Amino acid sequence: MTKKLSFSYSKMGMYKECPQKYKFRYIHMLPEQPKYYFAFGSALHEVMEYVYNPQNAAFPTMEQALAFFKKHWDSTSFDQKGYATMKKEMLGYEEGCRIIRAYYGKHGSSLVHPLSVEMKSTLDMDGLSLISILDRIDYLGEGRVKILDYKTGKTIQREPDQLMMYQKVAESSPAVLNLVQALDPSVTQIKVEQMCFYHLPSLQELSFERSSDKEMYEFWQRVLGVADDIRAGKFEPTPSESKCRWCDYRNICPVFTGKEYDGPSGWGAKNPAPVSAPEQMPKSDEEVLSEKIDRLGEITAEEKKLRQEIVALMNQLGYQRQYATKYQAELKTSKKLTFADRQKVVDFLRKAHLLQKTLVPTQSRIEALLSDSSVDENLKAQLLALGQEEKIEDIEISEAN
């Protein structure tokens, strides 16, 4: 009998990201380096499990939840969590405390016991041993359930495969059915009525409709396809700058070494440096200059796009400052005065005998009049009324201390 393949949404996600990375992690069983965002998320998941544990008759107070969080947080060192410094770990702890206090402020008076919390399900089907952890299941009556998944990252977005995996597991798992039948013995089938992502940092809950039978069939075919590729030993790397830059297996990956990793007792255990690139003809100064100009243009365009995306996300999350691994971003707001009807402004300046002050009535010169102490305040007010204030938002990036 063929051994069932141990499978999960996270394993499928890693294989889709890079089959070679999957091989390092789950075939060679090489652990990844600790990541601070995993440690932070795990700690808050532990708190939510503690708060909503159905075995407890009474809900813990906010002070008890904070004490539980501190005990869990202090059980590992800053480097074990993946933080670069103790100061950054402390900032993570303070953010966790802020989230817990805010959560109790919003939900503390209306806590209700769910059907289950952090339910680990192992489901054997179609040659897979499907492992899932469902953060929270609420019972809605008549066999209907709500699946809620806590998110602690900087952003929250729909992840269709993850939602469909939840739906597949919850509606197929005998363990979920047994929990419901303990409350409602007449139920013979589970239906996922709601699926939600709850973003703890912003206290936002995003609900999604259940997937149709057609969508679920297509999703499951994708799952089985990934499983077949894994069984067939298809582990070709799929390199890209964004993925490879932070990969823990970069120093033993054949993309960078030119050699296949052959296990902890072979060549790979020596962690060699990447193979040097073949020698090339030296470039002329003009070629170097042209490349740098093109590169600067690309960086400038990418920076502008990235700034806009960061501003949008910080506004969405209600953040004024956010700390990353090496840098911090602070939201800065300024105002810009624009004049749509240029002729109307010129006519006003001429009538007010201010045109000579501007020489040429450009945007900056007109704005300079508004801070000129020799210009009458009443005239400033009339000039200001001809324009429109535009809110300008940007970010200031600096090294995180």
User: 290 pLDDT exceeds 90?
Assistant: no
The whole-number average pLDDT for the span 346-355 is 77
| 62-73 helix and 36-52 helix, angle to the nearest 10 degrees | 140
Does this model's pTM top 0.85? My answer is no
- Domain residue limits, the chain: 30-110, 116-227, 241-270, 285-320, 330-399
pLDDT at position 360, please?
A: 53
pLDDT at position 351, please?
A: 82
Q: 302-339 pLDDT, tens per residue? A: 888 888 888 888 888 888 888 777 788 888 887 776 77
How high does pLDDT run on average in the chain? 85
Q: Which two tokens stand for residue 62?
A: 């906010």
pLDDT at position 160, please?
A: 85
What sign has the CA pseudo-torsion 16, 22, 26, 31?
A: negative
Which of the pair, 50 or 317, is modelled with greater confidence? 50
pLDDT at position 271, please?
A: 46
CA distance 201 to 266: 45
- Range list of H helices, 53-153: 62-73, 78-81, 86-107
Reported as a pLDDT band with limits 50, 70 and 90, residue 381 is confident
User: 287 pLDDT exceeds 80?
Assistant: no
Percent of the chain predicted with pLDDT > 70? 88
The whole-number average pLDDT for the span 52-64 is 94
Q: What is the three-class DSSP state of 369? A: helix
Q: Highest mean pLDDT: which of 1-15, 60-74, 302-316?
A: 60-74
CB proximity list for 244: less than 8 A, separation 6 or greater: 250, 253, 255, 256
CB proximity list for 270: less than 8 A, separation 6 or greater: none
Percent of the chain predicted with pLDDT > 90? 54
The whole-number average pLDDT for the span 264-290 is 49
Q: 107-122 pLDDT, tens per residue? A: 999 999 999 999 998 8
